[in-house]
Amino acid sequence: PSKEYELLRRRIYFNTKEFWYYVSYELRLLARTVKGIKPFTIQMIKNINEQYLSLLNDIAKLATVDDHAQWRRKEYIYLRTLVQKRLRFLQNPEDCSKAKKLFCNLISDRRSCGYGCRLHHIVNCLVVAYATKRTLFLNNPHDWGFTSSGFSSLFFPLSNTCTSSLDSNETVLPWPGNESAQVVNLTLPIAVPDGSNRMRRQLPPPFDPLVLPEDLSRRIRVLHGDPSVWWIGQFVNYIIRPQLSTIDMFQGYEENMEFERPTVGVHIRRTDKIGSSHKLEEYMYYVEQYYKQQQMNGKDLFKTIYLATDDPTLFEVAYKRYPDYHIFGDPELSKTGSVATRELDKSIVNINIDLFFLSQCNYLVCTFSSHVCRLAYEIINGNKYADASTQFTSLDDVYYFSDQIRRLHVAILPHKSNRPQEMDLQVGDEIEVAGNELNGYSKGTHLRTNKTLLYLTFKVIQKIEVMYFESYPDIKI
């Protein structure tokens, strides 16, 4: 397929969703404001929903007809292999003492930065290392300053050849250093909450992890509906290359549980994030939508979910309220997932078991405000599906990388606002995205007027930013 075809196909898919969000929201609003029409609108929403799922289903098929699925798989394997090979090359210099290095000093606050948060900081460091062609070293390579042995006992080290700590006679310059400096020291500041649930931190510009490398950007954009996620997924998957004993452990769980796909991964984040929590029913609504859509293909699937959560009490509630579902997952894993114990090795193992199963699922329902949910989504995209950008529902945020600088939309249709909450749009206007309101509108800051207002999501497309990164010309497939 051509680039135009792929971009258009995805745009139709995403806008069909936006159309449904808009219509169903407005109808519900109408039912609340106009007396006596509720039964009529409920029936209407039901009928429109069926049509909507049927449309989504047909559009999804456009991704696979005419050998497109084979093409996508091949392209995905090529790009993935290339990036992984470059990372292996970068991280394993023949002579470590001569290699240029990036020393990443991670000093995140233990209480505010859990496993996913830390892993994302390492991704951040590895992106900078890749872009500047410097072998990455961490100040705490085995434990990430987190557990006594959790990380190094589960995954392969970042490097096989640069294993000892820095040589005392190597010259170390603080970031950004210069070309000739052998070691550049990048200290990632303590993550600080920005008033919402997010940790706000500035990466030394210009390496925003959402920015794509110039040499691969075109191909990644054709391949994937959310190219930055695919890109970040490559770094995550390099960092968490499981050791054989880890694979054995995952497989042991898989057999014990008699885990079967297709299934929907549901991640419910509670404990210290309880303020922003959503009801189990909200997650299950989207699970139901997934199975309804599958039924349209004549597949009467046995309904299953994999439940991952830091709140073990949710399992009993789920068993009771959803007896028609088979619920995979282990409440024991959640018990060590609480804030108080999250630094223990066991909690690292448990969160990784949950992440492994979430990333085996065909669809994810979770909240992107959680690192864990975003991590599962990145793993799926980087390692399992060529393009899983349509295989999730986030109940809150749009996808973001916690250390990102910005995510942009660009207007492709003009708009004249008819209420003060909405912005005017001219074709080409750029907006820094704050979120999707799930009612046909997104919220963002218009870069020209600097005002934060609403805009119709179908009138914009994503703007993918591109930069020159080291292109590793000697690495061939």
For the CA atoms of 371, 373, 379, 385, the dihedral, rounded to the nearest 10 degrees, stands at -150
Smallest separation, CB 181 to ligand GDP (Å): 32
Between 113 and 203, CB nearer to ligand GDP: 113
Q: In this structure, what are the phi and psi dihedrals at residue 437, rounded to the nearest 5 degrees? A: -85, -5
Task: Give the residue closest to ligand GDP by C-beta.
Answer: 114
Kind of pairing, strands 199-200 and 212-213? unpaired
Task: Give yes or no for a contact between 63 and 72, defined as CB atoms under 8 angstroms apart.
Answer: yes
Between 309 and 393, CB nearer to ligand GDP: 309
Query: Which residue shows structure tokens 């429109």?
Result: 48
Q: Position 196: which residue type?
A: S
Smallest separation, CB 365 to ligand GDP (Å): 13
Between 190 and 301, CB nearer to ligand GDP: 190
Between 222 and 373, CB nearer to ligand GDP: 373
Between 31 and 351, CB nearer to ligand GDP: 351
In terms of DSSP H, where are the helices of 136-243?
A: 150-154, 214-223, 227-239
From the list 185, 14, 166, the residue with the least C-alpha distance to 99 is: 166
Query: Which residue shows structure tokens 């007027």?
Result: 449
Smallest separation, CB 114 to ligand GDP (Å): 2
Residues 6 or more apart whose CB falls under 8 angstroms from that of 45 comprise 24, 27, 28
Between 162 and 380, CB nearer to ligand GDP: 380
Gap between the Cα atoms of 180 and 29, Å rounded:
63
Q: Position 29: which residue type?
A: L
Between 213 and 265, CB nearer to ligand GDP: 265
Gap between the Cα atoms of 123 and 474, Å rounded:
24
Smallest separation, CB 193 to ligand GDP (Å): 11
Between 109 and 260, CB nearer to ligand GDP: 109
Smallest separation, CB 25 to ligand GDP (Å): 27
Measured from the Cβ of residue 276, the count of other Cβ atoms closer than 10 Å reads 15
DSSP 388: -
Q: Position 414: which residue type?
A: P
Smallest separation, CB 468 to ligand GDP (Å): 32
Smallest separation, CB 62 to ligand GDP (Å): 34
The region, left, alpha or beta by phi > 0 then psi within -120 to 50, assigned to residue 111 is alpha
Where does this chain bind ligand GDP (CB under 6 A)? 113-117, 267, 269, 273, 308-310, 333-334, 337, 342, 347, 350-351, 354, 370-372
DSSP 418: S
Smallest separation, CB 337 to ligand GDP (Å): 3
